[in-house]
Amino acid sequence: MFEKYRTRLRPPQGVVVTAFCAVIENELGIRLPTSSVRYNVYNRTIGVTAGGPQKTEIILNQKHILDLCRETLGDLGSPQQIV
């Protein structure tokens, strides 16, 4: 039943930001506060305002992080780019 909603509906902005922060913490061990992450719903772009080394590590692992977000949120609601 939930799979139907996952493929048709877009998750709210807050859910995307929370899921992104959870993926970052699980994969890279970097704890990002949700206040340092912004999600643009129209472009499906995540903006990270973290420090230099943290942001560099996130950008270097961008493809893997976006794939994990896609698994969590579904194709329609997952971010496409990290800036």
* Mean pLDDT split into 10-residue runs, the chain, 83 residues: 66 91 95 94 92 93 96 88 94
pLDDT, position 75: 84
Count of the separate structural domains present in the chain = 1
pLDDT, position 22: 96
Please name the residues in contact with 9: beta carbons below 8 A apart, sequence gap of 6 or more.
Answer: 76, 77
pTM score > 0.85 for this model?
Answer: yes
Domain assignment of residue 56, given as a range: 2-82
CA distance 77 to 44: 8
pLDDT, position 1: 46
